C-alpha cells in the first residue's frame, strides 16, 4: 500500500508539472519569442525540451514558433509531429480532467487562475483556439466553485476566494469576447446556462463588495464591448451588487 501511495503521488506530481509546461507552451504559441545578439544583431533560434520529453518548443530565426509531440516512428526512432495551439489546449483539458479525477482540482484551478497572460493573448487568437480555451475555462470554473465549500480553516478559505477572484479576472474577458468558431458553437445552450450560474455563484462567494465590484466592472466593460454577444449574461449579479452597494451608502 505504501508503494501504491508513493506511485500515486509521483503520478499527480508529474501530471501537475506537465500541465504547467503545457501552459507555457500554449503561451509561447500565441506569443513567439525572438532572441537577439545585441542591438540589431541576428536572431538566435533556440529549443526548449519539456521535462516530459514529449513536448518541445522552438521559436525560429524569424520570430515564428513551432511545436511538436515526440512519437515513435515505425522503425523505433523518435520523430517530430507538428502540434498546434489547439492540440496543446486539448491536451490541457485532458490533463485538467485527469487532475480532477485524482482529487487534485485545486492544482489545475490555481494554475489556470494565474495564467492571465495566456488569457489576454487569447483575445486575439484564432476562433478555434479561443473555443478550446473557453472549454478549459468552463470546466475549471465549475471545479473552482466547489473549492473551499467544506473548508474550516479561515486562511484556507480566503486563499480559495482569492483564487476564484483571479480566475474571474483572468478569463471573464475571453468568455465575453471569444468567437463561436468556424464549425460549431463553443458551448451548447445548456452548457452556457450552467456556466452562467456557476459564474454568478462564484462572484457571490467573493463576499467582499470591492472584489465583486472589480469583477463585475470588468465583465460589464467586455460584455458591452461586444454588442453582438449576449453571453455570459451576469446582469442578475450586477443588479444584486448595485442594490447591496446602495444599501451600504444609505447606512453610512
Whether the pLDDT of residue 93 is over 90: the answer is yes
Whether the pLDDT of residue 23 is over 80: the answer is yes
Q: Give the side-chain half-sphere CA count within 13 A for 63.
A: 3
218 in Cβ contact with 161 (< 8 Å): no
Whether the pLDDT of residue 78 is over 70: the answer is no
Q: Where are the domains of the chain?
A: 2-85, 87-251
In this structure, what is the dihedral angle of CA atoms 117, 210, 155, 107, given to the nearest 10 degrees?
-20
Pull the grid cell for residue 108. Answer: 489545475
Average pLDDT, the chain: 76
| Distant-in-sequence, close-in-space partners of 176: CB < 8 Å, separation ≥ 6 | 219, 222, 223, 225, 226, 229, 231, 232
| Range with the poorest average pLDDT among 21-25, 168-172, 202-206, 234-238 | 21-25
This prediction's pTM? 0.77
Is 22 exposed, middle or buried (CB count within 10 Å of its CB: 0-12, 13-18, 19+)? buried
Q: For 146-234, where are the alpha helices, taking DSSP H only?
A: 154-177, 189-204, 209-225
Is 48 exposed, middle or buried (CB count within 10 Å of its CB: 0-12, 13-18, 19+)? middle
Whether the pLDDT of residue 103 is over 80: the answer is yes
Amino acid at each position: 500500500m505504501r508503494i501504491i501511495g508513493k506511485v500515486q503521488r509521483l503520478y499527480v506530481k508529474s501530471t501537475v508539472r506537465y500541465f504547467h509546461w503545457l501552459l507555457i507552451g500554449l503561451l509561447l504559441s500565441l506569443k513567439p519569442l525572438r532572441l537577439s545578439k545585441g542591438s540589431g544583431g541576428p536572431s538566435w533560434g533556440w529549443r526548449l525540451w519539456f521535462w516530459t520529453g514529449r513536448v518541445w518548443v522552438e521559436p525560429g530565426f524569424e520570430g515564428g514558433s513551432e511545436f511538436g509531440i515526440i512519437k515513435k516512428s515505425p522503425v523505433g526512432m523518435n520523430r517530430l509531429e507538428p502540434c498546434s495551439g489547439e492540440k496543446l489546449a486539448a491536451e490541457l483539458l485532458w490533463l485538467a480532467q485527469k487532475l480532477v479525477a485524482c482529487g487534485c482540482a485545486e492544482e489545475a484551478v490555481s494554475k489556470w487562475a494565474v495564467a492571465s497572460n495566456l488569457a489576454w493573448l487569447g483575445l486575439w487568437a484564432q476562433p478555434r483556439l479561443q473555443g478550446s480555451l473557453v472549454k478549459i475555462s468552463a470546466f475549471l470554473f465549475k471545479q473552482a466553485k466547489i473549492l473551499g465549500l467544506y473548508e474550516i480553516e479561515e486562511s484556507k478559505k480566503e486563499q480559495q476566494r482569492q483564487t476564484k477572484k483571479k480566475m474571474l479576472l483572468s478569463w471573464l474577458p475571453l468568455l465575453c469576447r471569444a468567437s463561436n468558431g468556424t464549425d460549431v458553437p463553443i458551448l451548447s445552450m445548456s452548457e452556457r446556462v450552467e456556466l452562467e450560474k456557476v459564474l454568478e455563484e462564484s462572484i457571490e462567494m467573493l463576499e467582499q463588495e470591492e472584489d465583486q465590484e472589480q469583477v463585475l466592472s470588468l465583465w460589464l466593460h467586455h460584455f458591452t464591448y461586444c454588442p453582438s454577444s449576449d453571453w455570459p449574461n451576469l446582469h442578475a449579479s450586477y443588479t444584486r451588487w448595485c442594490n447591496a452597494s446602495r444599501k451600504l451608502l444609505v447606512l453610512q
